Amino acid sequence: MVAAKLANIESSKHASSIETAVSQPEAAKMLNVSVATVKRAAKVRKEATPETIAAVESGQLPVSVATQHGSKDAATHLRR
């Protein structure tokens, strides 16, 4: 989720200056995750419920699970 927050070039909110612009591939490299993970996290941030987003951000729910199961039943897959 952090990488998705960092990646601001491809989002609907464009970076205010070129110095702060970060692409998804750049964010992925900075945080040592795949570009696919950043894309999944961006999708969760855009489409999931606030509860699902909070669960992913707190580490209770993997991004991959949140995107596979959608926001409705994602809470049933929380890590205990």
Q: What are the tens digits of pLDDT across the range 35-72?
A: 999 999 999 999 998 999 999 999 999 999 998 876 55
- Report percent pLDDT > 70 for the chain: 70
Q: How many structural domains compose the chain? A: 1
Burial class, 37, CB count within 10 angstroms (exposed 0-12 / middle 13-18 / buried 19+): buried
**Domain coverage including residue 24:** 2-77
- In the numeric block, the tokens 């926001």 are attached to 71
Amino acid at 54: A
Residues 34 and 28: their CA atoms lie apart, in Å, by 6
Q: What's the rounded Cα separation, in Å, for the pair 45 and 38?
A: 10
The pLDDT value recorded for residue 43 is: 92
How many CA atoms, within 13 angstroms, populate the side-chain half-sphere of residue 57? 13
Reading the block at residue 62, the tokens are 């993997």
